[in-house]
């Protein structure tokens, strides 16, 4: 039972709990053994999401990190490199999995909001020069960008990257954990985002409010191979249809409403002295002098915010925070930034 005074959790959009209607479809889901590819609800989810982004096939994975790992593995051979932005989740927050498990190194471009900067990519790309330098195999773009404050790379820039990648024999990976937010914020069709990527990962467990799950998207061959690697890594699952049902429900009911989260993020930005015009989606990054102190002060007043550095806070709006709670959070946070 929720009351008006419950703690308002703005640390992440992963903290949402399944709604009652979502729990009902999970309980009623038709299931089978997904290691045998016999779970009808998982199969329906994979077909639907692949079609949504115009890719041949999809693989339902337990996390976005696993989907990214399998995606990058499919386009970057061991001893080759992936170019990505310096604050990208694949570089910063997947605990070195790409290097540890698959021999992938990264080099980075820097953008204050995490966006693609093609001029920097062009300077970074290393052709295969034989036994001297690590050759570049792929470029990864995170859209929207988590640690960059939910920034959205415009479709036109992604299309320019696609053309550049084709010219240089590179693959494009899109970490689309929050690509739904980018699509709703800009009106860009999911298929247009799908068309620029060889492989991509999209999450159901962030803004869409499902409890678990991400999808890897790619060609039929990439997905068949990734299915083997998912099992090899211990990520094969059985009656996962109960989770896929939550994802299907989220696709039906929780995509368009992301616009509300984006409006809420702008309210919080204003309260914290951040230009709301710089907030593209549901994440607000707030510079401050002492992040842990502000986190503690906000928590004492019933609002949880996250520190993503000693001087940077991150506020994330989501399905489980109402408009009234956003107003209350803004009232709590504003004095802390004055």
Ligand X SMILES: Cc1ncc(COP(=O)(O)O)c(C=O)c1O
DSSP state of 2: -
- Asked if the peptide bond before residue 15 counts as cis, ω within 30 degrees of 0, the response is no
Beta carbon of residue 318, minimum distance to ligand X (angstroms, whole number)? 12
Q: With respect to ligand X, which residue has the nearer C-beta, 71 or 294?
A: 71
Beta carbon of residue 72, minimum distance to ligand X (angstroms, whole number)? 11
Contact 198, 160 (CB under 8 A): no
Q: With respect to ligand X, which residue has the nearer C-beta, 23 or 92?
A: 92
Contact 61, 213 (CB under 8 A): yes
Beta carbon of residue 65, minimum distance to ligand X (angstroms, whole number)? 3
Residue 203 DSSP SS3: strand
Beta carbon of residue 88, minimum distance to ligand X (angstroms, whole number)? 8
Q: With respect to ligand X, which residue has the nearer C-beta, 152 or 332?
A: 152
DSSP state of 146: T
Beta carbon of residue 193, minimum distance to ligand X (angstroms, whole number)? 14
Nearest to 246 by CA among 23, 11, 44: 23
Q: With respect to ligand X, which residue has the nearer C-beta, 22 or 177?
A: 177
Quote the tokens at residue 292: 């842990």
Return the sign of the alpha-carbon dihedral for residues 248, 249, 255, 258. negative
Q: Which parts of this chain interact with ligand X (CB under 6 A)?
A: 63-65, 68, 89, 142, 146, 175, 177, 203, 205, 214
Q: With respect to ligand X, which residue has the nearer C-beta, 173 or 328?
A: 173
Distance (Å, rounded) from C-alpha 195 to C-alpha 299?
Answer: 43
Beta carbon of residue 175, minimum distance to ligand X (angstroms, whole number)? 5
- Classify burial at 125, counting beta carbons within 10 Å of its beta carbon; exposed 0-12, middle 13-18, buried 19 or more: middle
Beta carbon of residue 64, minimum distance to ligand X (angstroms, whole number)? 3
- CB nearest ligand X: which residue? 64
Distance (Å, rounded) from C-alpha 57 to C-alpha 17?
Answer: 28
Q: With respect to ligand X, which residue has the nearer C-beta, 136 or 205?
A: 205
Distance (Å, rounded) from C-alpha 6 to C-alpha 302?
Answer: 7
Q: With respect to ligand X, which residue has the nearer C-beta, 142 or 328?
A: 142
Contact 112, 149 (CB under 8 A): no
Beta carbon of residue 59, minimum distance to ligand X (angstroms, whole number)? 14
Q: With respect to ligand X, which residue has the nearer C-beta, 18 or 64?
A: 64
Residue 31 DSSP SS3: coil
Provide the pairing of β-strand 306-309 with 312-316: antiparallel
Distance (Å, rounded) from C-alpha 82 to C-alpha 107?
Answer: 7
Place of tokens 């959205």: 152
């Amino acid at each position: 039972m929720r009351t008006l005074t419950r703690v308002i959790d703005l640390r992440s959009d992963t903290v949402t709990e399944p709604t009652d209607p979502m729990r009902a479809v999970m309980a009623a889901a038709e299931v089978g053994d997904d290691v045998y590819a016999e779970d009808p609800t998982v199969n329906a989810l994979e077909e639907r999401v692949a079609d949504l982004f115009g890719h041949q096939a999809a693989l339902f994975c337990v996390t976005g990190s696993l989907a990214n790992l399998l995606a990058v593995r499919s386009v970057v051979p061991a001893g080759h490199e992936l170019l990505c932005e310096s604050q990208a989740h694949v570089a910063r927050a997947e605990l070195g999995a790409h290097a540890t498990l698959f021999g992938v190194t990264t080099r980075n471009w820097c953008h204050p909001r995490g966006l693609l900067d093609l001029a920097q990519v062009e300077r970074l790309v290393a052709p295969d020069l034989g036994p001297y330098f690590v050759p570049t195999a792929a470029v990864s773009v995170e859209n929207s960008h988590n640690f960059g404050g939910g920034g959205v790379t415009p479709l036109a820039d992604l299309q320019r990257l696609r053309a550049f990648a084709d010219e240089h024999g590179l693959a494009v990976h899109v970490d689309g954990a929050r690509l739904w937010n980018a699509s709703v914020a800009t009106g860009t069709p999911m298929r247009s985002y799908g068309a620029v990527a060889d492989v991509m990962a999209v999450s159901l467990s962030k803004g869409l409010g499902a409890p678990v799950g991400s999808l890897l998207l790619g060609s039929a061959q990439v997905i068949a191979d990734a299915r083997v690697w998912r099992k090899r890594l211990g990520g094969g699952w059985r009656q996962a249809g109960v989770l896929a049902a939550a994802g299907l429900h989220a696709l039906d009911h929780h995509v368009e409403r992301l616009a509300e989260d984006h409006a809420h993020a702008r309210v919080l930005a204003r309260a914290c002295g951040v230009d709301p015009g710089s907030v593209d989606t549901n994440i607000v990054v707030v510079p401050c002098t002492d992040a842990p102190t502000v986190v503690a002060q906000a928590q004492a007043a019933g609002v949880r915010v996250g520190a993503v550095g000693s001087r940077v806070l991150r506020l994330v709006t989501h399905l489980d925070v109402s408009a009234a709670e956003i107003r209350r959070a803004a009232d709590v946070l504003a004095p802390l930034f004055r």
